[in-house]
Structure 1
Amino acid sequence: MSWIRNNDLNLLQKLCVNVLKCGPVPRHVAFIMDGNRRYARKTNVQKAEGHSKGFDKLAECLHWCRELGIKEVTVYAFSIENFKRSNDEVEALMQLAREKFQKLFEEKDKLMQEGVCIRVIGNLCLLPDDIRKLIAEAMLLTKDNTRSILNVAFSYTSREEITQSIRSIVEAVQDKSIEVGDVSEELIANCLYTHLSPDPDILIRTSGEVRISDFLLWQISNTELCFTNVLWPEFNIWHLLGFVFKYQRSRCLQDVYKANKPQPNRNHRTQSFVKSFERKRIQQLELYARA
């Protein structure tokens, strides 16, 4: 199935989308796409088929988000904890990743035309070499696109992300690139995998589970949390529209929080460090792509 879906909405759906677009539209929505395995059991198919249906739903959901004007989407695709699942299931998920990233290159003209930027956030070192190479090539290919951004959390946990951020800052203090007094919330955020993204406005989890599962823990301090019992492959546009409407009703409280949020304290050292840090990330991707 394609990464880019262009199926038309019906008249009622278009009307509801246009009404919601008259209000504040979230810039960034995150999804914990839970329920693929339960969907497979429910429909009596293999787990791999359930995960494949989950990817199809992602492509459809990205289309709805573009219709609404939601610029950025982050999805929890594969946790580091998922490596503890059975070898057969892990290998099936890795094979699905291979197929989908290979499909991305088949559709690269469409991706570039639509201005889609693909970012994979997570510890890429834990992935098989060929998948890491595909991911690096995809990120480098689309890195300058800005119209629509998809962050795929793959080989990811938030605790590992925060640990890596702190480790980078400690190393910078040790080599005297920055001073201890330069360490701040903003600096830690700038060293996270999501440093190029605003914090999510909405986090949606499907399948009835009411927990965060180590996803974007740093980033969701002021995020609208939304939970639904529907399994991810059965998620539909009406669920999304309902959550956007819920967000719009509570937006006034978020505006108060943002107005009172402390302004960042930047200096030449931290600015130089952050720029250097980003260059190193790009260079690492280039090494993976050439491997």
Structure 2
Amino acid sequence: MSWIREGELNFIEKITANILKAGPIPKHVAFIMDGNRRFARKKHVERQEGHMQGFNKLAEALRWCLHLNIREVTVYAFSIENFKRSQDEVDGLMELAKQKFVKLLEEQENLEKHGVCIRVLGDLTLLPLDLQQHIAKAVVATKAHNKCFLNVCFAYTSRYEITNAVREMAWGVEQGLIKSSDVSEAMLSECLYSSNSPNPDLLIRTSGEVRLSDFLLWQTSHSCIVFQSVLWPEYSFWNLCDAVLQYQFNYRSIQKARELHREEQARLQLEADRACIAEVLQHHGNGKPADAQRRQEVLLNYTACREERSQDFLKALKHKRNTFLSDLSSQAAMA
């Protein structure tokens, strides 16, 4: 089954899509694709078949998203917690993932046609080496595409992601790229696996569970969250429309909350900068209070220097991550 399923909506679906598109459409939707194993039990088939049907449904859901002008999708494909499942199930999921990434590499022409950029978010080092290499090849092969984006969270939990972001900032301080005073909420956001993406506008969890299961906890603090009872392999276009409609009903409150958060971030950063320059002025001013113009000059200079350090650090971090993927991809090519 292809990652991007071709095909048009039927007449009624097209009308519905056009009505929805008259209102605000989420630019980025995240899915917790829950219910594959329960679907398998319900249909009296093997668990692996349930996971296969779940992947097939993802391909279908991506087509619906394209028709609704949803250009970015993030999916929870494999949690680090899933390694606690039976070895047979974990091995089966790893093999299925390998097959699908091999299939993706065979579909580069189709992915290029749609401009699909594939990103994989998580700790790839926890995966079998051959799967790491196939993933890296897929990410490198599609990194220049920019019409739509599919983020696959694999070997991922949000707490692990946040912890890793803190480690990355500590690395930046150790390397002398940034100062400890440069560490902020905004910088932590830039160190997450998802730093290339805007935060999801809409998060959907299927199967009736009403918890986030350690998925995008940082990124969805101001997102519309919709819990739906349908099992993921049985998900339909109409379920997606229902979720988008709930997003539209809550659109204004979501935008207001985001704006207030941005303002609060800016206020806290300004306070932190002022505290730093007060210390600088006290240290270099021989105890004499600086006038307003001097304080403003120092603040502007400090802010510019902090921003330059931050950008240099983020470039170094991006280079480190890209090099890791490029090396894996090269290993796969030589294998």
TM range (shorter): over 0.9
The aligned residue for residue 50 of structure 2 is 50
What code does the residue aligned with 2:84 have?
K
Q: Which moved more, 1:129-138 or 1:252-261?
A: 252-261
- Which amino acid is the alignment partner of residue 69 of structure 2? G
Residue matched to 2:35: 35
Match of 1:127 in 2: 127
Higher Cα Rg: structure 1 or 2?
Answer: 2
CA distance in 1, matches of 2:317, 2:189: 12
1:193 aligned onto 2:193:
yes
Match in the other structure for 2:274: none
Note the 1:5-44 alignment, pairs <5 A.
5-44=5-44
Tell which has more relative contact order, 1 or 2 (C-alpha 8 A, sep 6+). Answer: 1
Q: Which amino acid in 1 is paired with 2:99?
A: E
Opposite residue 225 of structure 1, the aligned amino acid is I
Distance 1:65 1:175 in 2: 42
Distance in 2 between the 1:173 and 1:110 partners?
A: 43
User: Per-residue deviation at 1:288?
Assistant: 1.0
C-alpha distance in 1 between matches for 2:314 and 2:58: 32
For residues 15 and 210 of structure 1, the distance between their equivalents in structure 2, rounded to whole angstroms, comes to 31
- Could you tell me which runs of 5 or more consecutive residues in structure 2 were left unpaired when the two chains were aligned: 270-305
CA deviations over 1:131-150 (Å, ceiling 9, x no partner): 00000000000011111100
Instruction: Give the C-alpha shift of residue 10 in structure 1.
Output: 1.2
Q: Which structure carries more helix by proportion?
A: 2
- Report the equivalent of 2:94: 94
The residue aligned with 1:269 is 309
Q: Which residue of 1 aligns with 2:234?
A: 234
Query: What is the one-letter code of the residue matched to 1:120?
Result: V
Percent of aligned positions that are identical: 52
Residue aligning to 2:321: 281
What CA distance in whole angstroms lies between the structure 2 residues aligned with 1:233 and 1:157? Answer: 22
Return the letter of the residue paired with 1:246: Q
Alpha-carbon deviations, 1:129-179, whole Å to 9, x = none?
100000000000001111110000000011110111000101211222101
SS of the equivalent of 2:250 reads helix
Q: Give the structure 2 partner of residue 62 of structure 1.
A: 62
Amino acid in structure 2 at the alignment position of 1:116: V
User: What displacement does 1:259 show?
Assistant: 2.7
CA offset at residue 233 of structure 1?
0.2
Structure 2 equivalent of residue 154 of structure 1:
154
Deviation by residue 1:1-40 (Cα, 9 ceiling, x = unmatched): 1111122211111001011111111010000000000000
- What is the one-letter code of the residue matched to 1:269? R
Supply the distance in 1 between the matched residues of 2:328 and 2:217 (Cα, whole angstroms): 28
Map of 2:82 onto structure 1: 82
Q: Equivalent residues in 2 for 1:104-119 (5 A)?
A: 104-119=104-119
What is the alpha-carbon distance in structure 2 between the residues aligned to residue 60 and residue 197 of structure 1?
22
Which residue of 1 is the match for residue 272 of structure 2? none
TM-score when normalising by structure 1: 0.98
1:276 positional shift: 1.2
Pairing 1:163-178 to 2, within 5 Å after superposition: 163-178=163-178
Separation (CA, whole Å) in 1 of partners of 2:136 and 2:187: 25
The one-letter code matched in structure 2 to 1:235 is Y
Could you tell me which residue of structure 1 aligns to residue 225 of structure 2?
225
Q: Do structure 1's residue 209 and structure 2's residue 204 form an aligned pair?
A: no
Aligned length: 291
Partners of 1:158 and 1:168 in 2: how far apart? 15
Post-superposition CA distance 1:67-117 (Å, at most 9, x none): 000010000000011111111100110110011001101111110111000
TM (norm. structure 2) is: 0.85
Q: State the partner residue of 1:252.
A: 252
- State the AA in 2 paired with 1:228: Q
Task: Specify the code of the residue in structure 1 equivalent to 2:322.
Answer: I
Task: Provide structure 1 residue ranges, at least 5 long, that are not aligned to the other structure.
Answer: none
| Partner Cα separation in structure 1 for residue 87 and residue 68 of structure 2 | 39
Q: For each residue in 1:233-279, what CA deviation from the matched residue of structure 2 results, as whole angstroms up to 9, or x when unmatched?
A: 00100010011011011111122123322366661000111111111
